[in-house]
Structure 1
Amino acid sequence: MPLTVDQLIDPAVRAFVTAVNAGDREGFQAVLAPGVTMSDDGSDRDPAEWTEREVFAPHARMAVESQSEDGLSLVARYRNDTWGEMRTAWRFTVSGDAITRFETGQA
């Protein structure tokens, strides 16, 4: 059974997942630090281009299966209209209340 968003330990990660699942571009941008970086399957990507193509345009959703003790790593079933559903790993670097880097890839 997936975790509920309320069960996610880190507030920034919780806001990230909430924004993805709601298709909330403003909420998503609000949780990212200026100059945020990201990678997908080990390759650095432009966060703005990647999130539009992989998250918002294809209506992505995350069902979190587990989180690390510190809440900065997740395993989730990630689904979007382009790729369907896949099991993914997510790692977040957080400074204060903002995400400075996120990394994702197949789990």
Structure 2
Amino acid sequence: MATPGSVTPEAPFDPSQPPVIEGFSPTVYKDAETFKEKFLRKTRENPMVPLGCLGTVAALAYGLFCFHRGQSQRSQLMMRTRIVAQGFTVAAILMGLAASAMKPRH
């Protein structure tokens, strides 16, 4: 007789295979996406996020360049611009999440 806390497995556990969970599919895609394919798909779904990231990096790089050259006023302006670009990026991410949450599931 088994003790109340013991569990007898029905099949041996194979750590090289994902567990089978009823009603759960680990991916909705037939084939695994490569990094490039996923990046392009996500960019098409929400193109404002990469634009915000590029704006953030550009403002940061130019601000650091101005700081290195001793142009403190322009450097401060670029750091403030970077903050605005970061805010734009976060807003774009949130808007994308809201849009995908309201999209009907197939």
Higher relative contact order (CA 8 A, sep 6+): 1
More strand by share: 1
TM over 0.5: no
When normalised by structure 1's length, the TM-score is 0.23
